[in-house]
Amino acid sequence: MSKFNHTQRYIESTSISDTDGIILDVVGSDVPKRVDYNNFITSGSGYCGYSHTGAFAGKPLSNNYVWEAGQGINYTQTDVNNDLYKVLSLDNAVHLAVDNPYWTTPDVTGEPNVGLFNGYALPPNVDSLFDYTYDFDTEYPSSTGTGFEGSTGRIRLNDLQYGDQLRVRFDFNVIPQIANTTIEPALWYSNRDDNDNITFTFPLTTSPVFFGGGTVGNTYLNRVEISAWVISNEDVNALTLPAIKSDNPIIIQPLGLLVTVIR
């Protein structure tokens, strides 16, 4: 993708004359001003972008990667007893099967296959917001107690800039198994230093969701939003995936992630 196209995509109110810079109509001035592309992008431009994926591990191949009624990822009584945030993985095979544009205009078929939009709406200088092939156990074979053990994939923050804000809308179904159940959706988050050493692990939670009487066995769609700042080298190099904790057994059907970067 050229600089010209990448810039043009995000600056609707500008006219672009060449690849060396962009012409901005400045409020209060009769003279448009040229701003160098690289300086414009890296100096706090205020532009954002996003990506979406439905590539959750466990989606059934037998049903074209669509959760069947009553099926999903079990959050068990053992998980309840352990006060566990169950981390939900991504899978590259599911990504290739489900993250396919279903529209024709604009045509994004020639863009990199990095999400549902094929990278069309990504922020400038961000190659992807997901890593579908990442394997935690391969990178940390002797790790214990982080909560990421056994997980695959990650939300990829490596191309973000200091000062960016991360917003993740996590879409999922929950099927309560016991009345009066409270769940706590979160981003399970591990900061890492420049040598990829994990320095601190914690849940970035949103508001809890309560399922009262008459909810057992029913399927409820949730679309929760979780935000985080990106202000240091350990944030840019962080590992993160969505997670859910519950005070009773439930069935989880993870559906999609809309990851937005705000500058």
**Can you tell me the mean pLDDT for 166-194?**
98
Whether the per-residue pLDDT at 41 is higher than 60: the answer is no
Stretch 221-233: mean pLDDT, rounded? 96
- Consecutive H or E run containing 257: strand 250-262
User: Nearest 5°: phi and psi at 214?
Assistant: 80, 10
Model confidence at 4, pLDDT cuts 50, 70, 90, reads very low
Token pair 């420049």: residue: 194
For residues 135-174, one letter each, b for 16 or more C-beta atoms within 10 angstroms of the residue's C-beta and e for the rest, the string is: ebeeebeeeeeebbeebbbbbbbebbbeebebebebbbbb
Least confident of 24-38, 40-54, 119-133: 24-38
User: pLDDT value at position 110?
Assistant: 82
Mean pLDDT of 7-16: 39
**pLDDT digit string, tens, across residues 51-63:** 999 999 999 999 9
Half-sphere exposure of 193 (CA within 13 A, CB side): 4
Residue 218 has pLDDT above 60, yes or no: yes
- Contact indicator for 216, 248 with CB cutoff of 8 Å: no
User: What is the rounded average pLDDT of the residues 70-83?
Assistant: 97
Cis geometry, peptide bond prior to residue 242 (ω within 30 degrees of 0): no
Mean pLDDT of 129-156: 97
Q: Looking at residues 80-98, what average pLDDT do you find? A: 97
Burial class (CB within 10 angstroms; exposed 0-12, middle 13-18, buried 19+) of 108: middle
This model's pTM is above 0.75: yes
Task: Provide the pLDDT confidence category of residue 46 given band limits of 50, 70 and 90.
Answer: low
Write down the mean pLDDT value for the chain.
Answer: 86
Per-residue pLDDT, averaged over 100-127, amounts to 91
Alpha helices (H) along the chain: 3-10, 37-42, 77-81, 92-98, 136-139, 233-236
| Per-residue pLDDT at 35 | 37
The candidate with the shortest Cα–Cα distance to 240, out of 174, 162, 141, 160, is 160
Contacts of 46 (CB under 8 A, 6+ apart): 263
List phi, psi (to 5°) of 232. Answer: -145, 170
How many whole angstroms separate alpha carbon 84 and alpha carbon 65? 26
pLDDT above 60 for 20: no
- What pLDDT is attached to residue 263? 87
- The model's pLDDT over 189-205, given as tens digits with 9 standing for 90+, comes to 999 999 999 999 999 99
Q: With bands split at pLDDT 50, 70 and 90, how would you rate the model's confidence at 2? A: very low
- DSSP 8-state assignment for residue 114: S
Q: How confident is the model at residue 22 (pLDDT cuts 50, 70, 90)?
A: very low
